[in-house]
Amino acid sequence: MLQGKKILLGVSGSIAAYKAASLVRLLIKEGAQVKVVMTAAACDFITPLTLSTLSKQEVLRDINDNQSWNNHVMLGRWADVMLIAPASANTIAKMAQGLCDNLLQAVYLSATCPVLFAPAMDEDMWHHPSTRANVEKLLSYGHRMLPVESGELASGLTGEGRMAEPEHILEFLQQHFTAPATAALPLKGKLALVTAGPTVEPIDPVRFISNRSSGKMGIAVADALALAGATVKLVLGPTRYAPTVPGVETIHVKTAADMFNSCIANYPMSDIVVMAAAVADYRPKTVVDTKIKKGAEDGLTLELEKTHDILRTLGNNKGQDQLLVGFSLETNNEKEYALKKLHEKNLDLVVLNSLKDDGAGFDHDTNKVTLFDRLGRETALPLKTKLEVAQDIVSAIIELQNG
């Protein structure tokens, strides 16, 4: 998707600047042309030599280096996209206020291309009202923000504020460059409800029953729906992944009961519903308040009870104008079970996964699926990235919506 794309990477002063090396390497590997502009503070964290070697381009730092003049206007016009990663709190503030005291800011103010930015700072700085106001101002300019991630920070604390990982930035860029295919925003005005990730069913305060779902596929569907213009609510089970398209509203849940309640609450007003979550079919009938200690007996017996069948409940209550999509992850008799789910649960579309396919299934970045719709059509897709699969699913949804 990035073959031949011209990407202008701005690197500001943040410890996360070290990730720029991996990011440039990924972009070059994808066939993009990359030019790097660094602030003076960024050079304290990573050398220009490293980024110039990886990008195969001179790294630009100054408007005037006493030998030549770097034309910030032409740089801003050269790029297909300007990506500022990391975008420190200081750089975000300068962008919001239109300050122009270094080459990066001059190029930013001259850019005629779309601007993306990936914030990177400590949690308290990220949540400060001035930072929040500056970010909102940048979003009001039409810029797109890569969501911050959670984890260990440079301060030694753990929380929000980490710059998105290079692999996630790459996915975001891929989504950005596929957006023109949905430039007409065919789902504008539609409300989409998506579920993703696993659920966890507690046994005691420290143990639970769950599954291997990462949530990547459902999150990709939520992103693809948002790119097509839909207003998206994502009901997300416990996972370290998050949507990359700004504006996707995320409702975090843990148990199957939590997910059921969130779906029931949001279902009546939803036009499109995509149930991609791996919801536990069973939960412990009794949850113990204290940790179960290892006893003298040889084993432990757990009595399980069924959880709500969310998909069947929604199918039984589907309105005439609602479109319902389910997923079917199978290990045998794949087509038979997928079609059974399609008809028994009143679906408009079912997405079949097989764990027998290499590169498909849990926690992969790729997937191989077959689509079955209510009109009897079967569409087998080759192994693709989950982003591409999500776009295929959204295309099928749009086709069904159009009759």
- pLDDT, position 318: 96
Q: For residues 226 and 132, state if they share a domain.
A: no
Confidence at residue 359, expressed as pLDDT on a 0 to 100 scale: 65
Average pLDDT value over all residues in the chain:
90
| Domain membership flag for residue 392 | yes
Residue 69: the pLDDT is 53
What pLDDT score was predicted for residue 183? 47
Long-range contacts of residues 332-338, Cβ cutoff 8 Å, at least 24 apart: 334/370, 335/370, 335/372, 338/370, 338/372
Q: pLDDT of 325-354, one tens digit each?
A: 999 988 888 899 999 999 999 999 999 987
Q: What share of the chain is helix, strand, coil (3-state, %, to 5)?
A: 35, 25, 40
Q: How many CB atoms lie within 10 A of CB 251?
A: 16
Backbone angles phi, psi at 35, to 5 degrees: -115, 140
Picking from 134, 162, 179, the residue at the C-terminal end of a domain is 179
**How many separate domains does the chain show?**
2
Judge whether 142 lies within some domain: yes
Tokens read off for 140: 């009001």
Query: Does the structure show a pLDDT above 50 at 35?
Result: yes
Query: Which segments within 148-281 are labelled E, that is strand?
Result: 149-152, 158-162, 191-196, 201-202, 208-209, 231-236, 249-252, 272-275
Does residue 1 belong to any structural domain of this protein? Answer: no
Residues 371 and 312 in one domain: yes
Q: Which residues pair with 160 in a beta bridge?
A: 150
What is the model's pLDDT at position 296?
60
Same domain, 134 and 19: yes
| Domain span holding position 81 | 6-179
Are 207 and 228 in the same domain? yes
Residue 291 labelled as part of a binding site: yes
By C-alpha distance, which of 214, 97, 103, 96 is closest to 145? Answer: 96
The pLDDT tens digits of the residues spanning 92-106 come to 999 999 999 999 999
177-200: average pLDDT: 81
Collapsing DSSP states into helix, strand and coil, what is residue 82?
strand
State the pLDDT at residue 209: 94
Is 233 annotated as ligand-binding? no
**Least confident segment among 47-61, 67-81, 176-190, 389-403:** 176-190
Residues 107/82, Cβ–Cβ less than 8 Å: yes
pTM over cut 0.75: no
Residues 118 and 194 in one domain: no
Question: Which H helix or E strand runs over 386?
Answer: helix 386-401
356 and 388 in a common domain: yes
In the listed set 179, 199, 227, which residue is the last one of a domain according to the structure?
179
What CATH code is carried by the domain that includes residue 88?
A: 3.40.50.1950
Q: Please list the active-site residues.
A: 211
Note whether 175 and 252 are same-domain residues. no
Q: pLDDT band at 179, cuts 50/70/90?
A: low
Q: Whole-angstrom Cα distance, residue 164 to residue 149? A: 6
Domain check: are 355 and 329 in the same one?
yes
Asked if 154 and 266 sit in the same domain, the reply is no
Give per-residue pLDDT as tens, 44-64: 999 999 999 999 999 998 876
Examine the fold and report which residue of 161, 179, 197 is the final residue of a domain before the chain moves on: 179
Q: Find out whether 197 and 277 touch, Cβ atoms under 8 Å.
A: yes
Residue 269: which CATH number? Answer: 3.40.50.10300
Nearest to 116 by CA among 159, 39, 169: 169
90 assigned to some structural domain: yes
For residue 101, is it within any domain?
yes
Find where tokens 């990477």 sit.
9
Q: At 71, is the pLDDT very low, low, confident or very high (cuts 50, 70, 90)?
A: confident
* Residue 304 identity: L
Q: Are residues 139 and 221 part of one domain?
A: no
Instruction: Identify the CA nearest to 95 among candidates 42, 41, 131.
Output: 131
Grade residue 324 by pLDDT with cuts at 50, 70 and 90. very high
According to the annotation, is 281 in a ligand binding site?
yes
pLDDT for res 47? 96
